[in-house]
Amino acid sequence: MTNRESTSDAWNRLEYRPLEGFVYAVSPFNFTAIAGNLPSCMALMGNVVVWKPSDSQIYSAKVIMDVFEEAGVPPGVINVVFGDPKMITDVVLASPDFSGLHFTGSTHVFKALWKQIGNNIDHYKTYPKIVGETGGKDFIVAHKTANPIQVATAIARGAFEFQGQKCSAASRAYISKSIRKDVKEQLVKDVKSFKMGSPEDMSNFITAVIHEGSFDKLAKYIDQAKADNNAEIIVGGGYDKSKGYFIEPTVILTDDPKYTTMCDELFGPVITIYIFEDDAFSETLKLVDTTSDYALTGAIIAKDRYAIIEATQALQNAAGNFYINDKPTGAVVGQQPFGGARGSGTNDKAGSLINLQRWVSPRMIKETFVTPTDYRYPFLGE
């Protein structure tokens, strides 16, 4: 409860109620421990939650529920449901008590859920709150003054950590022509030094992608790049699913800034690089801004402060999380609230007060000390 400005005539106060009904949390496969954030932040604000984790994240979700129980979260507050996602969602969204959706996952699924909620709007007791963090086509822009080793490191980490299976992973890069050779040399050296194998061995920088569907999708894009005249694989390009779904970290070089892999979200260890002329920095920033439907994360790497300022301003709508002289990944709760707009979601900033406030319904209470006994206002007098 928060005090508002009160007067000698009335006491004004604002209280924050949980939403009326229950809320629905949907988490993706690449959320393990952090998947607990979606249902717990809503429960923290007093809501009853139905949580549907990804089919590929069931084990970690079970561990999280065990932790919730041991920590003392009462039964019935967070209710995890495993099963057919469409069936679960249809039942949840058909209930008149549905009051909110907290979603992380693919853009097309989020849009489908939004449409489904809209079609059911006449059945709900209240207008549901909808919060979603979806896809990304995240970028790195390297100005001619950038340190090539720093650029290569930002690409190696930003594109290939967790096999690129992060919505924030760098998947397109724009490199100024004068530094391209040094960046390429260092990047190829770094990628070839990666160890790949089981996640049980912590010295492996690269492990398998999540499942066969992801593997097949990525292999198709890699094969296409090998066949296209306007694309060249400068390192990587191999894949093998004989024992685990392993995709080699792959760097594609293209002379077409609208090449397929510069536009499509791949969600794997593949990044595409476009080289721009040193004097075309401003034009390239416009290209970065207009190439993708997404606007999740992005980075500018430069020593020139004027270039940094120009990029920060020109790309103000291209990324909800913008990084200067760093890779575009690795947001820390409490330090960099996370989320993007456009096709990347509602930008309600997970891990921040902004997100928490979405899961409450404020009630204003005015308590009058001297209650009127005459309907007439002073201006009505003679």
How is residue 329 written in tokens? 């990944």
Q: Which residues contact 186 (CB under 8 A, 6 or more apart)?
A: 148, 149, 152, 153
Is residue 133 flagged as an active site residue?
yes
The pLDDT of 15-38, averaged and rounded, is 93
The pLDDT of 170-199, averaged and rounded, is 97
For the chain, the 3-state helix, strand and coil shares in percent, each to the nearest 5, are 35, 25, 35
pTM for the full model?
0.92
Residue type, 11: W
pLDDT given for residue 7 in this prediction: 86
Q: Can you give the C-alpha Rg of the chain in angstroms? A: 25
The CB density around residue 97, as the number of other CB atoms within 10 Å, is: 14
The burial of 86, by beta-carbon neighbours within 10 Å (0-12 exposed, 13-18 middle, 19 or more buried), is given as exposed
pLDDT over threshold 90, residue 351:
no
Q: Which of 161, 167, 248, 265 is catalytic?
A: 167
- 34-61: per-residue pLDDT in tens? 899 999 999 999 999 999 999 999 999 9
Distance CA 88, CA 100 (A): 15
Beta strands in the chain, from DSSP E residues, in sequence order:
2-3, 10-18, 22-26, 48-52, 78-80, 98-104, 129-133, 138-142, 170-176, 231-235, 239-240, 246-247, 250-254, 270-276, 294-295, 297-301, 321-324, 341-342, 360-368
Q: Which of 41, 133, 161, 265 is catalytic?
A: 133
Closest Cα to residue 94, out of 121, 74, 66?
Answer: 121
pLDDT over threshold 70, residue 2:
no
Backbone φ and ψ for 339, nearest 5 degrees, come out as 160, 155
- 88-116: per-residue pLDDT in tens? 999 999 999 999 999 999 999 999 999 99
pLDDT given for residue 5 in this prediction: 86
Is residue 167 flagged as an active site residue?
yes
pLDDT over threshold 70, residue 174:
yes
The CB density around residue 200, as the number of other CB atoms within 10 Å, is: 7
Q: Domains along the chain?
A: 2-134+345-365 (3.40.605.10), 138-324 (3.40.309.10)
